[in-house]
Amino acid sequence: MSLMSLQGKIVFITGASAGIGAATALAFASEGARLLLAARRAGKLAEVASAALARGAPSVHSIDMDVRDHRAVQNAIDSLPAEWAEIDVLVNNAGLSRGLDKLYMGRIEDWEEMIDTNVKGLLYVTRAVVPGMVVRGRGHVINMGSTAGELTYPNGAVYCATKAAERSINDGLRQDVLGTPVRVTSVDPGMVETDFSLVRFRGDRDRAAKVYKGVKPLTADDIAEVIVWAAGRPAHVNIARVVLTPVQQANSLLFHRDG
């Protein structure tokens, strides 16, 4: 079984400044991949870039990009230096959750931000990158899903809807590239301890900590390891979807909390 070497491959990661995106950058760096990193927070991104170089990435190119702006996304991809233009692996990781309100009490700006980032942003980046993969006859798109996309939980309808959309977009893309060598994967984690809950609750640390109380959650490194594993399968193998949760989680509704 000849595994796919990631040495020197160009890996493009969105939302790379923290959490799963940053961990994924470091995991690919360890495999000798060249990293194209995008995020809105340039300072944080610079820290991830230097950590990735220290971890073994031969080179890193960072772009300041908001996935919600389709023109900015297209321009960023169109104006890549020639040595960075041939993207081998796209990790569509940029995403967030805002608020935990009953749908009929939800904040419209929260809905807009989640839909614009998690659904439209995913589409914009995919639209800008995948045509090149099809023309070159190689590439792999890895999308960040969630157990929330399988089973809606109370007060999370819109976030869950965005992840259900990711699932449909992922599966539709895999159908649409059939007949080309391009691979399409969705990685769907359950509870992962990152800044995700801190973002959802706008910096309220106490409220964010309660989410993980009594549970040993997955880490960003756990998810990064699965992403790199999927990318490293032999060329004829497509990992369609990986669902992973902590042992103390059955699905997006059922948890066993200690104490």
Can you say whether residue 249 is alpha, beta or left, with left for phi > 0 and alpha for psi between -120 and 50 degrees? beta
Residue 71 is which amino acid?
R
Distance of CA 160 to the CA centre of its chain: 15
Non-local CB neighbours of 178 within 8 Å, separated by 6+ positions: none
What Rg value do the Cα atoms of the chain yield, rounded? 18
pLDDT of residue 112: 98
What is the DSSP track for 189-250? Answer: ES-EESSHHHHHTTT-HHHHHHHTTT---EEHHHHHHHHHHHHTS-TT----EEEE--TTBS
Say how far apart CA 139 and CA 141 lie, in whole Å. Answer: 7
Surface-to-core class of residue 23, CB atoms within 10 Å of its CB (0-12 exposed, 13-18 middle, 19+ buried): buried
Domain covering 10-244 assigned CATH 3.30.70.360 in the classification: no
Please provide residue 125's backbone torsions phi and psi, each rounded to the nearest 5 degrees.
-70, -45
pLDDT at 2 over 80: no
pLDDT in tens, 150-169: 999 999 999 999 999 999 99
Per-residue pLDDT, 3? 83
pLDDT digits (tens, 9 = 90+) for 78-112: 999 999 999 999 999 999 999 999 999 999 999 99
Closest residue by Cα to residue 126 from 99, 158, 94: 94
With a pLDDT cut of 90, the percent of the chain lying above it is 96
pLDDT tens string 217-233: 999 999 999 999 999 99
* C-beta of residue 166 within 8 angstroms of C-beta of residue 143: yes
Nearest-angstrom CA–CA distance, 73 and 171: 22
Set 104, 153, 159, 212: catalytic member: 159
Q: Determine how β-strand 140-144 pairs with β-strand 218-219.
A: unpaired
Residues 6+ apart with CB under 8 A from 87: 10, 11, 12, 36, 129, 132, 133, 139
- pLDDT over 70, % of the chain: 100
* Distance, CA of 52 to CA of 59 (rounded, Å): 9
Question: Residue 122 forms beta bridges with which residues?
Answer: none
Number of helices (H), then strands (E), in the chain = 9, 9
Where along the chain do its domains lie? 10-244
Active-site residue 159, yes or no? yes
246: CB partners within 8 A, 6+ apart: 190, 191, 215, 216, 217, 218
